[in-house]
Structure 1
């Protein structure tokens, strides 16, 4: 797998886990969901940061955008110009 594919996967997990955490907070506030999704979100967030700093040719702004919690991975993909239809090679 290339760094871009791994970044896409981590960005999706990061955004989805944040959505689950916020939905849980707004509705039932189940401790089990928070206990499971919290570490998943944290690991995805760290993975996005590491992948962004390893992505060749990414600008400084792109790398710094990876530090935005929750949507950093999606921002990196947008800033880097990698869309879903583009083949990273």
Structure 2
């Protein structure tokens, strides 16, 4: 779960940084660094979701949504008491 939380946060933050960069100054260095970071975080989110035993098929499909999929998965599979 910890790895999934980190990957989901990195995915959302990197996508936000890429979109802000696109809307404002469009620096190539940010794009060159942020693109691969977002891609790897996206893949890590999907992989961690599929390896989580409590993830339902709906949660696994939610992981495929770029940017917010990991956060949606975390909300769905989090225990009731947490």
Query: Which category describes the TM-score, using the shorter chain as reference length?
Result: over 0.9
Aligned pairs, number: 82
2:13 to 6, 11, 16: 16
| 2:47 equivalent to 1:50 | yes
Normalised by the size of structure 1, how large is the TM-score?
0.87
Find runs of 4+ consecutive structure 1 residues off by over 2 angstroms: none
Give the RMSD, CA atoms, in angstroms.
Answer: 1.5
**Runs of at least 5 residues in structure 2 that lack an aligned partner in the other structure:** none
Normalised by the size of structure 2, how large is the TM-score?
0.94
Matches of 1:82 and 1:67, distance apart in 2: 21
